[in-house]
Chain A
Amino acid sequence: MKLKFYRILFGIRGWFTSALNHFGTQADLEAEISHHLEQNQHHLESSGLSSKQARKLSLREFGNAERLKEECRDNWGMQTLSNITRDARFAFRKMSKNKVTTLIAITILALSIGAATSVFSIVNTVLLNELPVPNPQELRMIYWKGSQTKIRSCSNDYVKQMGPTSISDGLSHPIFLALRERCRDYAEVFAFDLVKESTAQIGNHTFATKLLLVSDNFLSGLHAKPAIGRGFEASDVAQSAPNVVISHDVWAKYFHSRPDAIGSTIRLSGDLYTVIGVAPNGFEGVNPGQAISFYLPMTENSRFLHKPLSTDWHWGTRTMLRLKPGAKDKQVKQLLDAAFIPMIADLAQEPEIVLATGHAGQRCSIPPSGRFRSGHQLRHFARLRSGRVLPNHHTLYNPDFRGIACNSSLIRKSH
């Protein structure tokens, strides 16, 4: 045991000493060899040989000094190092001879490294990053599943019959309110709805932007404490107050981080809004990769919705919850189911609430069962990253509205 331990310890020390002291060891070896030759010569002289003969004999006995040095260097582990240097020099010479091949090889390498890096950065943002809020592990995404459900886009009466079993993240606003109320003691349920295309006007600057319509408890539920000002309150929603919370980036870029940004007005898709707060630094909403610049209250007659919120047209309300201390997933799911199932009984069979991880926001939540839409999400995200925001069934531009309508809706067939 002791021997084994010593072997490891002294083995490491020995390797480091010879590897780090490469040039010292080299010089030492030279000195050692010449000392050996000299000693041997003296020894031979003392046995009666002339100095010249002794020198000659000593050299002969010693043999090939260069080979000996090489063997010693091998033992120091230095041969590998000098081999690498030699190979690198050789490669460089070869490369400068075949410039075209080299250029092609370098280009291919650069492109593939670039591609790998960007794929990683997408995966990192979509799948790995946690939301920059305290205790993200307490967050859950709320999905629901059912069979024989019908999905209809609220803007063009397109009805899509879903397969035998489907999983969805969209809920109607009345259902959200019922869920929120039912598990008030165990979890804070909050809602959001992404508006991907809008225009913002701040002073002389006009730019395209993304909005998030949020329930009044969105920021407080996430524990995203505003950097300055305040978040939304129940009165903002009740009174449809034209208030907006801006992102930290917008505050820094267009207001130069001045505190008097609070109270100033900006235009979103043409309408005036008053800035009441600034989201915390680094917080970009709950859709990683889709940085949100403005948060608006999700109000009954929001111009960003096709129809009043309380009708059951709007099945695009996404919901999340934060478990309160001590609350269990199972317990919360039971409460949510109790509120949810009676409300959806006519629209789907075997409906059920599904709680999924929410630590990284919406795009990477993984439902415990059912269809994981990461492939679709990744492709969509890649389009967003490349700047080509294409309308799909989530984003539908409706010229009748001054704003943009979004989200598919699941509704009762009216006839």
Chain B
Amino acid sequence: MAKHGFPQGTLEMMIMKVISSGSHHGWGIAQKIHLLSNEALKVEEGSLYPTLSRMQRQGLIEGKMAPSENNRQAKFYKLTPLGKLQLEEESKKWESMADAIARVMSASPESQF
């Protein structure tokens, strides 16, 4: 497990997925991942913001300060064209990987060897 508690690269992928439908601020992203995962996943703030800043530097996302729903300044993140491409690629990889893992895990004891 990676240090933020998710398999390596999956937090980035989930962040990209969440903001692919519209821009969100940090707290919103964490909350949405939490809700979408049926409250199974909780993104630590200590890993969320460094990840966001790293992704920004990589040019996957861009942030813009804007007033939030409670009228306070917050940074809203959205995908860049690079981020969109990256998301497509990563989700494809993820699907085939999850599929493969699922097949291995669901194999019946008889079918082994």
Contacts and interface: CB of A to CB of B under 8 A. Distances in A.
A42 B57 contact: no
Given A29-B49, A40-B27, A35 B57 contact: no
Nearest to A7: B82
B46 A15 contact: no
A158 to B, nearest CB: 76
Interface in A88-111: none
A9 interface: yes
B33 interface: no
A115 interface: no
Interface string A10-33: 111111011000000100110111
A294 B47 CA distance: 78
A17 B63 CA distance: 10
Given A3-B85, A63-B44, A75-B50, A15 B57 contact: yes
Interface residues of B, number: 32
A68 B59 contact: no
Nearest to B83: A10
Interface string B22-55: 0001111001000000000000111001100110
Interface centre among A36, A42, A61, A77 (most CB of B within 10 A): A36
Nearest to B80: A10
Contact of A35 (B46, B56, B73): B73
A51 to B, nearest CB: 15
A40 to B, nearest CB: 7
A32 B70 contact: no
A33 B49 contact: yes
A258 interface: no
Interface string B52-96: 011011111011010010101111000011100110010000000
Contact of B58 (A11, A32, A67): A11
A39 interface: yes
A18 B73 CA distance: 19
A306 B53 CA distance: 83
A25 B64 CA distance: 10
Contacts of A39: 27-28, 68, 70
B5 to A, nearest CB: 13
Contacts of A11: 57-59
Interface of B: 25-28, 31, 44-46, 49-50, 53-54, 56-60, 62-63, 65, 68, 70, 72-75, 80-82, 85-86, 89
Given A35-B74, A71-B49, 15 more contacts: A3-B82, A3-B89, A9-B59, A10-B58, A10-B80, A14-B60, A15-B57, A31-B72, A32-B26, A36-B25, A36-B45, A39-B27, A68-B45, A75-B50, A76-B57
17 contacts: A2-B85, A6-B85, A7-B59, A7-B82, A9-B82, A10-B82, A14-B58, A31-B72, A33-B49, A36-B27, A36-B45, A38-B72, A64-B46, A67-B46, A68-B46, A68-B49, A77-B57
